[in-house]
Structure formats: structure tokens, C-alpha cells
Structure 1
Amino acid sequence: MKKTLLSLGLSAVLASALVAKEKIVVFHAGSLAVPFSEIEKEFEAKYPEYDVQREASGSRAAARKISEIGRAADVMASADYKVIDNLLVPNNAKFNAQFATNEMAIAFTPSSKYADEINSNNWPEIFLRDGVKVGHSNPNMDPCGYRSILVTKLAEEHYKIPGFYEKLFGYGQSYKVGEEDKNKVIVRPKETDLLGLIEANAYDYLYIYKSVAKQHGLKYITLPKEVSLKDNENAKFYKTAKFDIDGKKPGTFITKTGGAMVYGITVAQNKKSPANKEGAVKFVNFVLSEKGQEIMKKNGQGVISPAKITGDASIIGK
């Protein structure tokens, strides 16, 4: 009898293990890779019936996978909440929850040229020195890319260095692939693609989010609030910097204006991913919960509590 009960118990466990978990596909900004990895573990521990499958990329690239390529995704989290507004709402998302903040920084390694003398006051001058190489992500694919350019434009005014932006980048009003100076600037699709290269000493300095620099143990410069895009204290000055990126259709442009860094998250929808998926709703609510916010703060990001929500968020009970 005992053997029979034991056999039945083992069969039940095996049957349970074989039950397919419901997948939750999450597209998110590269800068969210570390906190979302931890959120994934905590979420699956609380909801073992789900299997979170994350895919990191530049935020704009992630949105276009949903809206233009038609890939199935249940959740989209962007390093710039405006990406959701511009590329997903209203056809591929019904709401936008602003849930986290960040700031720009300059990362480097002990092997970077002039690493022993660079600081928050002299970095623009060091960037322009012969032999110094600088990396940033593609502004048409990743918010960190156009924020790098906006920071450079703000720095030109803040530090009173005429022509700093043109001398360093020379992109004009918009960036096109191939325009970077191969001897001075390195560009990759998203900021996290550049981490391995700086650690391999392929270049010297990286425009990156402060949270990512901290997560990866890089040395970094904390920029003055006037140029770091940290908060609304300097909103008026931030707005003086503008840069054009590719629009929804070829040949069109969206003008990005300097502003405080705010992340957004939404439930995504298209023909392959219906908007009423229960797992997606639970995941978004978990990110917005006290536990989710705790994980974000632990990984170097500020949080917006409660989240600022626009659009029809009835699906998540807001």
C-alpha cells in the first residue's frame, strides 16, 4: 500500500512538472537587463505557473519588433517612456506606466587614456584629445544613444566649450549609420553592447546610464545635474538641446528634446499577442509593486511611486 501511494505521489509530481508553463515574453531596454533578471526570479518564485522570457535590446528597436515586424511580445519596458507613446500607443499598447528614473554618466576603466586625471569638470576637454576614443549607442535604436548626444550638446553650453558637439561627433542635426569618425567614435546598437569592448580596451570612455556602470563595476564620472538628465530641476535648460532621430516611416524624423530620464512599461499587443494575457498583467503589476521597486532601487535606479500612468490602464487595475 505504501509503495502504491509513493508511486502515485511520484506520478503526480512528474505530471505537474510536465505541465507546460505559460510564457510571458518581455522585450526591454538593455539597461534593465540586471534588475529585470532579478525581477524574473522573484516573479517566477511567486507565480511558478509562468515562464518569463526576456529579450534585451535598444528600446526603440524593441518597440519596432512589436509594431513593425509583428513579433509576439506580452510586455514592453523602455528606458524612455516616450518610445511607448511614439511607437506603440494606441495600436500596440493602451497605457504607459512611468515607473523608474536614471541619469547619464561617463564610464571608463583604469586602462582608459587619462583615467588618472579625468573628472566631472574636465571630461569634455579630455574627450577632444588626440587618441581618445569614445563610445555611444545608436540614437536611432536606443534612448541611451540620443541621450548621449543631448548630454554632449548640453555640455557644450554648460562648460562653455564652443563647437564641442561638432568637434566630437559632427553628426549635424541627425545621425546616420556610417557618419561616426572611426578613429574617434564607436557606435553599437545598444549601450550594453559596448560594455565588453570597453573592458577589452577597444576604446576609452562610454556614455552610459549610471545604474549600468555601477552594476558592471566600471569606474565612472557623476555628471553635474545640468547635463546628466537626472531630474526636472534643470528641465528648462535640458529643453535647449534637440536632436532628430528616425521616425515611424522611412524619411521621417522625431525630434528628441532634452528631458529628465523616465522609464515606461506597458502590456504589448498585436496580432500575435492579445492584450488580455493574464501573465503579462501580473508581471507589469509586479514591476510596479513595492517588491519590484525595491529591486530597481537595489540596482541603482530611482523609482516613481506610485507610477505615473497615462492612457487606459484598466487592464492592470489602475
Structure 2
Amino acid sequence: MVALTLGCTTSEPKTISVFHAGSLAQPFQAVEKNFETANKNVDVQLEAAGSVDTIRKVTELGKQADVIGSADYRLIPQMMYPDYADWYIVFATNEIVLCYTDKSKYADEINADNWYEILQKPDVLWAFGSPNIDPCGYRTVMTIKLADLAYNKPVFDNLLAAHTAITIKEENGVYMITTPEALNPDTKYVTIRDKSEDLVSMTIAGGIDYAFEYRSVAEQNKLKYVELPLSINLKDVRYESTYAKVKVTISNGTTQTAAPIAYGITVPKNAPNKDLGIKYVEQVINENGQKIFRDMGQPPTVPALGSGNIPEQLKKYVEMID
């Protein structure tokens, strides 16, 4: 009888938690399938939020995660070092675009030369993610200020200063933007949501006309989009010095410098299932993971770039940057 009982025993399935940026939702779902195929008795639980909130769940709210995926790798050392992480890997890029549908007002007129004029029209409602929670949000603010410099027009004043509590001042050729906790958008003109991805359904439903998003989110959701100039879309390393003229201080007091978009991933020091977390990261950065990101309009960084105390089994995939 004892032998029979032992023979019927199966190991309990393990669950791992992956906290991640909203713009990683679809590629991480595909990675989850690969991971669960390779690790039969493991269930991956994905939890999306803005990247700042994603990290705060671990560092301030006491939640435990086995993987953290951030839309801005810089938040990992900024918010998690030294107590909660001591390494990160840069694994993908993106760019800022302006999304719309055929139902959006002036959809047949908007282009890369006039988008900021269309957004200023009194009958147009546009939107972006909260810069205090979502990197796509503070990157949108950066893009709008960079548009000032690219077009030599008061784009920032007309779109943001006139309709929100976001402020700006210039110091020695650098533009210092502050996004207070109370953003106070004038909702007749502009809508702000905690996650930029929340705006996708609003755009599709016609509740808003235009939304700033990552290109990958636009492509994954089959939205039309205006491709913005390289000097403002935070895509191109050749414009790094131009981007760096804009800085945004968000409500938690940290200052973000405009820079080419780069996603980061790590396993927290207090992860309950560190080995499985590392295996999940491996599925993100190996050739299968690279293909997933490439197919979803989110170019992978190849080789991935590593900083800090990179786990041994991931070293073959990364080029160290420190």
C-alpha cells in the first residue's frame, strides 16, 4: 500500500512570477509558451504594469518576483541596486510613434510633418501614458520637447504646458522637465493613463483620436501610426547627444535623461525561484527569444548587453558593457 501511494505521487507544479512592462506583454506571452514547453512542471504567471510600478512592487511593496522586465533598463540600477539586484541585461529596443485608426479625426491628413499641428486642433483628443509610472509616458514628454528643437516650433508649450501641470526650464542648453504627482490634464484635449498600453483599446474604440505608443505596441495591435523623425523618436544611437538635451524629473524624484530606448531584464536578489528566473531570462535572450521580439516589431539587441554580476549560464549570450 505504501509502495502504491509513493508510485502515484507527482511533484507539485512550481509557479514563477514575472513582473514586466506593459509593452512586453505579447512577446513575454510567447516566451512563456517556449519556457513552459522546456520546463514541463512550471507555470509562469505574468503581471504587467508601468515599469516604475513594476519595480516598486518588489522594492517598496514587499512582493516577490522571479523576473523583472523593464521598458527602460536604467530603472534597474537606479531603483533596485544594491539591495534588490546586482545585474541586468539589455535585450531589446523600440521607438516612439503616434498611433491612430481610420476613425481618428484628420486621419487622412496627418503625417510626420504636421502631426503636432493636428494634435493642437480643438476637436482632437490625444493621449499618453503617465510619465510618473510608465517609461513610454516620460519618453513621450521627451519626444514632444525634442520636437521643439526639430521643427523650431513651440510644440511642448502648445501640447503639454498649455494642457497639463508639466513644467520646463532651460539650464545651460539642457531642458529640465518636471512631471508632478498631480498632472492635471485638461481632459477636453488630452488623456493620461497609468499604462500607455491601456490607450490601445481606447484608440481602437474611438474614445481618443491619437496616442503615443511604442512602435511594437502599434504593430502588435495593428494600429496605424505616424513614424516620427529619428531626431525625436528615441530610436537611433546617432542622435544620443541630441536626445540628452532633455531630462525629465518624475514624481518619485528621479531624473531620466532622454536616450535611445533600451529594455532591461534581471532576476531580483530575493527571487523565490532564482534558477527558474534565470532560465526564463535565457528564453528571452536566446535565438528563440530574439525571433519572437523581431517578429513582434521590437528589435532584439544582439548580442544582448550585460552589466554586473551576470549569472554563469547567461554569459554566453551577452557582451559585457562594464
Give the TM-score, by structure 1 length. 0.90
Provide the residue aligned with 1:257 in structure 2. 257
* Offset, 1:22: 1.3
In 2: Cα distance, 1:82 partner to 1:51 partner: 29
Identity %: 40
**Match for residue 158 of structure 2?**
167
Match of 1:109 in 2: 101
- How far off is 1:255 after superposition? 1.8
Gaps of 5+ in 1: 1-7, 248-252
Q: Which amino acid aligns with 1:95?
A: W
SS of residue in 2 equivalent to 1:260: coil
Q: Deviations over 1:291-315 (max 9, x none)?
A: 1111111111111112111111135
| SS of corresponding position for 1:111 | coil
SS in structure 2 opposite 1:203?
coil
Instruction: State how many pairs are aligned.
Output: 297
Q: Is residue 2:99 matched to residue 1:69?
A: no
Residues 123-272 of structure 1: pairs in structure 2 closer than 5 A: 123-162=115-154, 164-170=155-161, 171-172=166-167, 173-176=177-180, 177-247=182-252, 253-270=253-270
RMSD of equivalent CA atoms = 1.6
The 5-angstrom pairing of residues 68-107 of structure 1 reads 68-107=60-99
Question: Aligned residue for 2:170?
Answer: none
- 1:125–1:42: structure 2 CA closer, same or farther, 3 Å change rule? same
Which residue number in structure 1 is paired with residue 298 of structure 2?
A: 301
Change (3 A) 1:314 1:42: closer
**TM-score for both structures, normalised by structure 2:** 0.89
Cα distance in 1, alignment partners of residues 313 and 78 from structure 2: 21
| Partner Cα separation in structure 1 for residue 204 and residue 311 of structure 2 | 45
CA distance in 2, matches of 1:68, 1:223: 36
How far the C-alpha of 1:246 sits from its partner, in A, is: 2.5
Query: Which residue identity is paired with 1:202?
Result: G
Secondary structure of residue in 1 paired with 2:74:
helix
**Deviation string, structure 1 residues 230-283 (Cα, Å, up to 9, x no partner):** 020111111112211123xxxxx222211100000000133xx34x62111111
In structure 2, the gaps of 5 or more residues are 168-176, 316-322
User: Structure 1 residues 304, 67: CA separation in 2 closer, same or farther (over 3 Å shift)?
Assistant: same
Whether the 8 Å contact between 2:34 and 2:283 is mirrored in structure 1 is: no
Counterpart for residue 291 of structure 1: 288
